[in-house]
Amino acid sequence: MNTKVISKINGPVVIAEGDADFAMHDMVKVGKQKLMGEVIKLDKKSATIQVYEDTSGMKIGEEVYGENEPLSLILGPGIIGNIYDGVQRPLNRIEEVLKTGYIGKGVEVSGIDLEKKWNFIPKVNIGDSIEYGSILGCVQETQAIENRILYPKKLNGKIIFVAEQGEYKVTDTIAKVQMENGKIVEINMYQKWPVRTPRPYKTRLRANIPLLTGQRVIDSLFPIAKGGTATIPGGFGTGKTVTQHQLAKWCDADIIVYIGCGERGNEMTQVLEDFPKLTDPRSGRPLMERTVLIANTSNMPVAAREASIYTGITIAEYYRDMGYNVAIMADSTSRWAEALREISGRLEEMPAEEGFPSYLPSRLSEFYGRAGRVETFNGDIGSVSIIGAVSPQGSDFSEPVTQNTRRFVHVFWGLDRDLAYSRHYPSINWIISYSEYSNELAEWFDENINEDFSNVKNQITKLLNEEDELQKIAKVVGKDVLSDLKKLVLEICKCIRVGFLQQNSFNEIDTSVPLEKQFKMMDLIVFMYNESLELIEKGIPLSEIKKLGFFERYLKLKYEINNKEIQKFDSVKHEFENEFKKLENEYEGHIE
């Protein structure tokens, strides 16, 4: 037997000695309770193991059994709709096994149901040549998602048997393949994949299609591409989790992997209660049918927290390889970094910044590096987009996790406590946020939404920046001393902030807004600004323009105009135009 003997126990870190030959990152079963663990350090005699479960009650001298394989996931139909712990154990199976509302130890449950039968539809014929990633057949995993069974072997081969359409368990053989080297392999519907190894793809593609989220400040001002990376840093109470939930609900990915990493238990419960009730606007099916949840709440074992984000990304890559657009929400990567720190501390490693291990940046870059839009081996195009929340210590964006994350992601949605205080949600600060995809995506927006899109958007950004400067001045001298031209900028920007950037996630119409409507809304503001500017330049006071009541009216438009009646914006614009004209004429008449 491949065993070692425990010689030291310190929280989740256990050291075992003996002759057995463990490999780095191998899975092990630790002690009498057979707790799951992973080898994280090796020297001649001893192996250091991080244990994914609570080590209470463990004794020196108990055995550690090597499993001879790295921490791996079981990938096959039946993943979608599940809620897993950090190492792919379905939490509701744990409940069934333990029969209590609490999480116990040493529970062995499979990541997917091995008994359930699926209706397999073959897509190859006997004699077909296949290579890695070829589609052998498919099963309808949920109403919304078709699971494509891919050939998992590196060697090319020929089909010598394929199962007929019918009901099969994932463990049943659905095809036999004679490989190049003459060996025959039986293929079933699942495969194992080590979580720390990225799944391969054929080529990496440019990220030039936006991942639409229905959130105005994101889509219009700071868009993320399909296959892109973004981070949402924000102190507590700034709305990170609400923003992540909104993205998980409304973004136009095919599959969502939501990783609750070291966060609150009730938040996961909320997702579990909400998602089955909400429908995906595109497929018309419950959102849960495209969602996988991974929950390691803050009181669950810390080592499994470290593993949870790898579990999440491996599942995402599995569906990417079938040609799906997958989006990962990781809430929060800071808790993951803290798990690294905690384990590193127990290993007595030399700390770098603020006690975090020196390999924090490289781990972060490895994680975000697994995002991307790719061509898969069977010629499909799939993508993995990563949106990671960061919970900066003391709300200070200069702390190591925020700073290092910033280096590896392309979109930065900085949450602002002052905005959250004044109930401006989403509280994404438009001055500090940025998207490096803006230029790349501008072409797409101009082609697909409106040729004026980038133009209008740039004007909005310019106005907001100008307002920021003016507000600083107004804080010192008061608004009243500003000229009408400057005051107009403040008035218009109030419209932008309250009428456009603020979005009410509880309002049925406003919770998610199509891009066409977003454009019309921006277009109308810019129109109001330009018209008013012209009037002011002709000598008409701002107070007269304000009397038209357009600025207040604009604030309500987002609720009044349904997402399906976007053409109404044109009539509003027309009406405004006439009124502006009238005012101008009146005034000119007055002067004469």
Partner 1 sequence: MKIQYLGIENINGPLVFIKTPKEISYDEQVELILQNGERRIGNVIEVDKDIATIEVYEGTNGMNLGGVQTSLKGKPLSIKLSEKMLGRIFDGAGRPIDGLGEIESDVERSINGNAINPVCRSYPKNYIETGISAIDGLMTLIRGQKLPIFSGSGINHNLLTEQIIKQSNISDSDKFAIVFGLMGAEYETADFFKTSFKESGVLSKVVMFQNLSNDPTIERILTPKVALTCAEYLAFDLDMQVLVILTDMTAYAESLREVSTLKGEIPSRKGYPGYLYSDLASIYERAGMIRGKNGSITEIPILTMPNDDISHPIPDLTGYITEGQIVLSRDLSQKGINPPINILDSLSRLMKDGIGEGYTRKDHAKIADQIFSSYSKVQDVRALSKVLGESDLSETDKRYIKFGNEFEEKFINQGTDERRNINQTLDLALDLLKILPEEEMDKL
Cβ of 112: how many Cβ atoms within 10 Å?
18
Q: How far is the CB of 373 from partner 1 (least distance, A)?
A: 32
Residues 6+ apart with CB under 8 A from 518: 216, 219, 220
Instruction: For residue 264, give the nearest of 245, 280, 247 by alpha carbon.
Output: 245
Closer of 44 and 475 to partner 1 (Cβ): 475
Cα–Cα distance between 14 and 161 in angstroms, integer? 47
Closer of 396 and 570 to partner 1 (Cβ): 396
Q: How far is the CB of 305 from partner 1 (least distance, A)?
A: 9
Output the 3-class SS for 401-441: HHHHHHHHCCEECCECHHHHHCCCCCCECCCCCEECCHHHH
Cα–Cα distance between 50 and 266 in angstroms, integer? 27
Q: How far is the CB of 493 from partner 1 (least distance, A)?
A: 14
Q: How far is the CB of 29 from partner 1 (least distance, A)?
A: 17
Residue 164 class from Cβ within 10 Å (0-12 exposed, 13-18 middle, 19+ buried)? exposed
Q: How far is the CB of 454 from partner 1 (least distance, A)?
A: 29
How is 342-406 classified by DSSP, letter by letter? Answer: HHHHHTTPPB-GGG-BTTHHHHHHHHHHT-EEEE-TTS-EEEEEEEEEE--GGG-TTSHHHHHHH
Q: How far is the CB of 162 from partner 1 (least distance, A)?
A: 38
Name residue 168's beta-bridge partners.
118
Residues 6+ apart with CB under 8 A from 544: 583, 587
Characterize the bridge pairing of strands 255-261 and 291-296: parallel
Closer of 225 and 268 to partner 1 (Cβ): 268
Q: How far is the CB of 489 from partner 1 (least distance, A)?
A: 17
Closer of 333 and 383 to partner 1 (Cβ): 333
Q: How far is the CB of 468 from partner 1 (least distance, A)?
A: 14
Q: How far is the CB of 265 from partner 1 (least distance, A)?
A: 5
Cα–Cα distance between 258 and 267 in angstroms, integer? 12
Closer of 448 and 483 to partner 1 (Cβ): 483
Q: How far is the CB of 279 from partner 1 (least distance, A)?
A: 19
Closer of 344 and 435 to partner 1 (Cβ): 344
Q: How far is the CB of 295 from partner 1 (least distance, A)?
A: 5
Closer of 43 and 480 to partner 1 (Cβ): 480
Tokens of 574: 């027309």
Residue owning tokens 């600083």: 472
Closer of 300 and 315 to partner 1 (Cβ): 300
Instruction: For residue 79, give the nearest of 151, 152, 139 by alpha carbon.
Output: 139
Closer of 57 and 539 to partner 1 (Cβ): 57
Closer of 48 and 385 to partner 1 (Cβ): 48
Size of the chain in residues:
592
CB 226 within 8 A of CB 207: yes
Closer of 117 and 479 to partner 1 (Cβ): 479
Cα–Cα distance between 534 and 539 in angstroms, integer? 9
Cα–Cα distance between 109 and 111 in angstroms, integer? 7
